[in-house]
């Protein structure tokens, strides 16, 4: 158990709909990352927040947005869903040691768009 929680575990919805994925980081971690893993693909970096502020952006579609709240949990909003958005969505929180950052991943949310 990494200490990162994600809800829901599974989500089935229809094209054109909007969903919200939730992530709670490990206690004390200020940074949250969001990744998308499509079938047979690596993890694609979407976006990173640090203490409520967006810090880095990857290949995140305009239909997708995220935010991090004062209690440090984060939400990823996916709208106008398409079949190709079906994927595993992971969040990770991170901690810095003396010289490097380690990310701890949640169990993921499996999204199926029908």
Partner 1 sequence: DQQVKQNSPSLSVQEGRISILNCDYTNSMFDYFLWYKKYPAEGPTFLISISSIKDKNEDGRFTVFLNKSAKHLSLHIVPSQPGDSAVYFCAATSGTYKYIFGTGTRLKVLA
How far apart are alpha carbons 91 and 5 in whole angstroms?
9
CB closer to partner 1, 4 vs 113: 4
Binding string to partner 1 for residues 35 to 74, with x set by CB under 8 A, is what? x----xxxxxx--x------xx-x----------------
Can you say whether the dihedral through the CA atoms of 59, 60, 62, 63 is positive or negative?
Answer: positive
How far apart are alpha carbons 34 and 64 in whole angstroms?
11
Runs of H (alpha helix) within the chain? none
DSSP state of 84: G
Q: Which of 29, 103, 111, 113 binds partner 1 (CB under 8 A)?
A: 103
If binding is defined by CB under 8 A, does position 21 make contact with partner 1?
Answer: no
Q: Do the beta carbons of residue 89 and residue 108 sit within 8 Å?
A: yes
The distance of closest approach from Cβ of residue 35 to partner 1 in the complex, given in angstroms and rounded to an integer, is 8
How far apart are alpha carbons 101 and 4 in whole angstroms?
16
Binding string to partner 1 for residues 82 to 101, with x set by CB under 8 A, is what? --------x-x------xxx
Binding site for partner 1 (CB under 8 A): 2, 4, 33, 35, 40-45, 48, 55-56, 58, 90, 92, 99-108
């Amino acid at each position: 158990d990494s200490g990162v929680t994600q809800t829901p575990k599974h989500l089935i919805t229809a094209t054109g709909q909007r969903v919200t994925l939730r992530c709670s980081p490990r206690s004390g971690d200020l940074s949250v990352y969001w990744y998308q893993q499509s079938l047979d693909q690596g993890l694609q970096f979407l976006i990173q927040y640090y203490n409520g502020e967006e810090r880095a952006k990857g290949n995140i579609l305009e239909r997708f947005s995220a935010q991090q709240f004062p209690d440090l949990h984060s939400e990823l909003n996916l709208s106008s869903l398409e079949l190709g958005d079906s994927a595993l969505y992971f969040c990770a929180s991170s901690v810095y040691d003396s010289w490097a950052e380690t990310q701890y991943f949640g169990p993921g949310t499996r999204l199926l768009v029908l």
